[in-house]
Chain A
Amino acid sequence: MGKKSAVVIMGVLALLACAAPGVVWAQKGPVKIGVITPMTGAAAAIGKDMVNGLTMYLEQNEQQVAGRKVEVIVEDSQGKPDVALTKLRKLVENDKVHVLLGEVFAHIGYAMAPRVDEYKVPMLYPVIAADDLTQRKPAKWVVRTGWTSSQPSHPFGEWVYKTLGYKRVAVIAMDYAFGWEVVGGFQKTFEEAGGQIVQKLWPPLGTTDFAPYLVQIRRDADAVFALMVAASSLRFPKQYQDAGLKARLPLIGGGTTFDEFVLPSLGDEAIGGITPLIYSAALETPENSRFVRAYRTKFNKVPSYFSETSYTAARWINEAAKAIDGNVENNEAFLAALRKVEIPDAPRGPIKLDTYGNPIQNVYVRKVEKKDGELWNTVIHTFPAVSQFWKYPPEEFLKQPVYSRDFPPCQHCQ
């Protein structure tokens, strides 16, 4: 036969050889947890934090969940939606995991949700904050154990107007769903309280050079609200200071701008930044102090909210599995149990899910301060039991469109 065809046949046979279908007869084997996070790429350090949080809980729990051994399979999504989807396929179809967990980026969260629903394997989203996943586009099999992007922004917006007294705020935020939603929540309550957003700048996700944006910031505002993530959080404060803005315009923003993930790499330029989030490593409760101490000892760094939410997510899986006597093979029962879990003493405080599947939890307003030569997010105010809808009745809230670039509209922008 033709040489070319011979080559193709050899190639395809090689592929089929890999297909060796090992028929593993599953008895009550280990509980398999599939983890999808970026382990390489720009968000690799976040993925590492998440895996650390998860493994620390399992270690403390003697590598078992509801009395059964645990097997954790970590897959690298590389921060890319199509890779995440392929790994999702692998974990469900190949590895037959009982529960999934992970991911960082909202857009990947949206991409995976319909697929997770198709597979009927519960997936925990401890970090992904895309509002609509528990609002207008709920996915039945996605259990959000983290937060929504706008959840901390709602109480913060009011608080900034009433307590900090800023009346006009300029916004600079990452141009993607997470950025739009964090800003949207802030704008809604800030403007309802009487404030005005006078400017909105949207640098693309991953921007590291903010010069073109910093020159545009209106100097007549009272403060600047900055929403940065990952590598941008590392670069922004210094550039803000170097542009001479720190001296004139106080910096507030979304929690990820100054979270524990980036604080160790920042210097004095971060001091004074006020942001809201569902967690702070500086939170002074016995549970959190224990958690921070254990994490620091094991991994030599302060835990971020990525670590905490993953740690708590592992505990969440354990609690749900215990509630159904470890019978995680029954996916419907497992999902129902996951949705009923309540944790009164997580490191970040008490958590339980609302009827839409998002945690009701404390929101902490934090201020970056230096203590013993380290930067910490000192908690200066606590809002207890905040839901994703803040004070609005859910049906009313859901009538408005999801926060986006254009919603709420910038009525006071020039």
Chain B
Amino acid sequence: MAGARRLLGLGLVLLILGLAPYMLSSYLLALLTQAVISAMLAMSLDVLLGYTGLASLGHAAYLGLGAYSVGVLTTQYGANFWGALVVGIVLATGVAMVFGLVALRATGVYFLMITLALGMVVWGLAQRWVSLTQGDNGIAGIPKPDLGLPWSFATPMAFYYLVLVGFLVTYAVLGVIVRSPFGQSLVGIRESESRMRTLGYHVWLHKYIGFIIAGAFGGFAGVFWAYYNGFVSPTDVELATSVEILLMVALGGRGTLLGPTLGAGVIVLLKNLVSVYTQRWLLILGAIYVLTIIYAPDGIVGAVKQLLRGGKAMALRVRAIG
């Protein structure tokens, strides 16, 4: 039975992720923590990119809004985890609501450019609103998360579990959303907007809500990102970060929740482990992206699915993203 098998598979995955701290060195655990947070971020973008078919190059803005909320509130106002979390999510959601109104006036490449510009607006604010964000210096000394619970989250292992909880919440909620009729409508919009319109769906509203959901979860991930680094700076919000998130989704496999998770893991590993051996790691990363786009446009997940299906030889497909 597919349902039971899936549950078993999920259980096994959770077991492995849950036991990871006991099997990994502290450095690899740190990388895994980073990968899980990046996975949350990538999943949030996938709602927009994979399910709705809207490629955004400004997603780091929401990461930044969540992260800076933590940065400012914990260092200047002594806020605890919950306060910073709520403000981070509310801020990211609010900004997504405003940005969505602007960006969704366009589609395709134009949408891409507008989201890029909006992302740069947030970056510009982070860099120049020095009295609030400390500008290029960034905000250092973010304390370990204080949840007001009897056990501390200061140790790497405890923090990893906190992040894992955040990841599971994201996975569960987004999972429910994408499997719901609403989520299916998003997929329909991705496949053919005009057809959905003729069927009577309010296409713009669907896209807008999808945009807001993506932004909200982006902020959610951003909160964990700030606690992980203990530091937040404009580099977290710059274009290169947005591109990296996009690539995580593309590499892993858009239109699934698993794909971005895998993509995030691969990219975090590659960035950190490959760069130890060569200064040309960027070249290697670039080559992987290019090869993926050409030979596995549905990302790793798509490629593996095809292999497991015992598929024919993979044909060369040229498919633009978005």
Instruction: List the A residue with the shortest CB-CB distance to B32.
Output: A15
Residues of chain A within 8 A of B301, CB atoms compared = 4, 7
Query: With A94-B25, A176-B137 in contact, do A8 and B273 touch (Cβ < 8 Å)?
Result: no
Please indicate which of the listed interface residues B34, B130, B269, B273 has the most CB atoms of chain A within 10 Å of its own CB. B130
Residues of chain B within 8 A of A175, CB atoms compared = 130, 135-136
Residues of chain A within 8 A of B262, CB atoms compared = 7-8, 11
Do A81 and B138 touch across chains, with their CB atoms under 8 A apart? yes
* Main secondary structure on B side of the interface with A: helix
Do B28 and A18 touch across chains, with their CB atoms under 8 A apart? yes
Query: With A7-B262, A40-B279 in contact, do A405 and B137 touch (Cβ < 8 Å)?
Result: no
Do A82 and B231 touch across chains, with their CB atoms under 8 A apart? yes
Q: Mark A152-183, 1 if CB is under 8 A from B, else 0.
A: 00000000000000000000000111000000
A407 at the interface (CB under 8 A from B): no
A104 at the interface (CB under 8 A from B): no
* A71 CB to nearest chain B CB (Å): 14
> Bound state CA distance, A176 and B127, in angstroms?
10
Do B26 and A1 touch across chains, with their CB atoms under 8 A apart? no
Residues of chain B within 8 A of A11, CB atoms compared = 262, 265-266
Do A4 and B276 touch across chains, with their CB atoms under 8 A apart? no
* A256 CB to nearest chain B CB (Å): 16
Residues of chain B within 8 A of A111, CB atoms compared = 138, 140, 229-231, 233
Residues of chain A within 8 A of B308, CB atoms compared = 3, 6
Instruction: List the A residue with the shortest CB-CB distance to B26.
Output: A93
Do B275 and A76 touch across chains, with their CB atoms under 8 A apart? yes
Do A4 and B136 touch across chains, with their CB atoms under 8 A apart? no
> Bound state CA distance, A328 and B10, in angstroms?
47
* A49 CB to nearest chain B CB (Å): 16
B195 at the interface (CB under 8 A from A): no
8 A Cβ contacts from B1-55 to A: 2, 5-6, 8-10, 12-13, 16-17, 20, 23-28, 30-32, 34
Do B13 and A12 touch across chains, with their CB atoms under 8 A apart? yes
Do A204 and B275 touch across chains, with their CB atoms under 8 A apart? no
> Bound state CA distance, A9 and B14, in angstroms?
10
8 A Cβ contacts from B199-245 to A: 229-231, 233, 235-236
A247 at the interface (CB under 8 A from B): no
Do A110 and B30 touch across chains, with their CB atoms under 8 A apart? no
Do A2 and B5 touch across chains, with their CB atoms under 8 A apart? yes
Residues of chain B within 8 A of A85, CB atoms compared = 229-231
Do A19 and B30 touch across chains, with their CB atoms under 8 A apart? no
A107 at the interface (CB under 8 A from B): yes
A76 touches which of B16, B20, B265, B279 (Cβ 8 Å):
B279
Do B265 and A15 touch across chains, with their CB atoms under 8 A apart? yes
B23 touches which of A19, A90, A115 (Cβ 8 Å):
A19
* B153 CB to nearest chain A CB (Å): 15
A86 touches which of B13, B23, B137, B272 (Cβ 8 Å):
B272
A5 at the interface (CB under 8 A from B): yes
Residues of chain B within 8 A of A89, CB atoms compared = 26-27, 30
> Bound state CA distance, A21 and B24, in angstroms?
7
A353 at the interface (CB under 8 A from B): no
A114 at the interface (CB under 8 A from B): yes
> Bound state CA distance, A176 and B135, in angstroms?
7
* A78 CB to nearest chain B CB (Å): 8
A75 at the interface (CB under 8 A from B): yes
> Bound state CA distance, A94 and B235, in angstroms?
25
B300 at the interface (CB under 8 A from A): yes
* B247 CB to nearest chain A CB (Å): 16
Residues of chain B within 8 A of A127, CB atoms compared = none
Do B27 and A177 touch across chains, with their CB atoms under 8 A apart? no
* A180 CB to nearest chain B CB (Å): 9
26 A-B residue contacts at CB 8 Å?
Answer: A2-B10, A3-B304, A5-B12, A8-B13, A8-B261, A9-B12, A9-B13, A12-B16, A12-B17, A16-B16, A16-B23, A18-B269, A18-B273, A76-B275, A81-B138, A81-B229, A81-B233, A81-B235, A82-B233, A85-B231, A90-B272, A107-B140, A110-B137, A111-B231, A176-B137, A204-B128
Question: B residues near A, CB below 8 A?
Answer: 2, 5-6, 8-10, 12-13, 16-17, 20, 23-28, 30-32, 34, 127-128, 130, 135-138, 140-141, 229-231, 233, 235-236, 256, 258, 261-262, 265-266, 269, 272-273, 275-276, 279, 282, 300-301, 304-305, 308
Starting from the known contacts A5-B5, A5-B6, 8 additional A-B residue pairs (CB-CB under 8 Å) come to: A7-B258, A7-B304, A16-B20, A82-B235, A93-B25, A94-B27, A106-B137, A176-B137
